[in-house]
Amino acid sequence: MAEKVKSRHRERIRSYEILPPHMSELRLVLLGNSSSGTCSVGNFLLDKTVFTHSDCQKSSGQYRGKSMVLVKTPNLLHTNLTEASVSALMEDCVEHSAPGPHVFILVLQPEDFTEQQKTRLQSVLENFSDQAFQHSLLLLLPPRVGAADSLKRYKRQSPLKDVIKQCRFRYVKQKDVEPLELITRVGQIVKENNGEHVRPNMSSDALHLTPQTDVNVQAQTDGSGLNLILLGNSWSQRSSVGNLLLKKTALNTETKPPNFQTYEGEMHNQPLTVVNTP
């Protein structure tokens, strides 16, 4: 009986056009906190093994005579990634999905999803476009813990609960969905947005990602000196400015350390502290 119901459901899906007729290409971006999970979802949609590693990858397929482009991102939610690394990876994503994705598929491993990852996910999507959550579908991977009520518990608690709400309660469980059904859900989001794609509003010098850890930068002076913080999108140029101010080669212009770097010197016989940011 259950198989007959599923069969009728599949036939009903096949009986109508999922994507708007004027669309010749569907562009999807896979983003999540599991590299293996995003790979498996991408291969699941394309019905072939294309995505095999953690880098940013792009692949194309066909769906009912229309081109389907998938961009699989690396794990941008990994807390070890610096802001500069995330910025560079997002630039790759923007380039691969040009002129803009129609839907973001957020592939999340529920038990690994933390408040830090939620903050990073929100920052990435909002910096990509302020309309990104309106174009997002949440895909929940099966919890590894194996408890029957695990997913229910995660959905009731933050941070997953907050993301589900931001996605307008559009989510599916990977174990319950087939490729055609997943495309159907994607098509619903495309129709809700009148077939329009996301228009990226970010550039490498316009990102404002929320830091993943609290940073306490204090100048070690008696309060009578000058404290300066260097900000910008070029490490080497910031370092050159710092060396100019300190009148010595203190900041390495070649190597990019992952953390804040503090240097001390003097200016007009007063203490000078220069902080270079990652």
* pLDDT higher than 90, residue 207: no
Question: Comparing C-alpha atoms, which of 275, 217, 204, 206 is closest to residue 241?
Answer: 275
Position 246 pLDDT exceeds 60: yes
**Which of 55-59, 134-138, 221-225 has the largest mean confidence?**
134-138
If pLDDT is split at 50, 70 and 90, which confidence band does 68 have?
very high
pLDDT of residue 85: 87
Instruction: Count the neighbouring beta carbons within 10 Å of the beta carbon of residue 236.
Output: 13
Q: Phi then psi for 85, rounded to 5 degrees?
A: -65, -45
For the stretch 78-125, pLDDT in tens is 888 888 888 888 888 889 999 999 999 999 999 889 999 999 999 999
pLDDT in tens, 179-206: 888 999 999 999 999 999 998 875 434 4
Report the phi/psi class of residue 272: left, alpha or beta, with left for phi > 0 and alpha for psi in -120 to 50: beta
Is 221's pLDDT higher than 50?
no
Q: Indicate whether 17 pLDDT > 80.
A: no
Strands 261-267 and 270-276: antiparallel
pLDDT of residue 236: 67
pLDDT at site 151:
65
In this prediction, residue 209 has a pLDDT band, given cuts at 50, 70 and 90, of low
Band of pLDDT at residue 249, cut at 50, 70 and 90: low
Residues 6+ apart with CB under 8 A from 245: 228, 265, 267, 272, 274
Q: Is 192 helix (H, G, I), strand (E, B) or coil?
A: helix
Name 236's Cβ contacts closer than 8 Å, sequence gap at least 6.
253, 254
Statement: residue 136 has pLDDT above 90: yes
The rounded distance, in Å, linking the Cα atoms of 117 and 133 is 16
Q: Report the mean per-residue pLDDT for the chain.
A: 79
Question: With the CA atoms of 204, 104, 71 and 86 taken in that order, what torsion angle do they form, in degrees rounded to the nearest 10?
Answer: 30
Distance between CA atoms of residues 90 and 95, nearest Å: 9
| Model confidence, pTM | 0.67
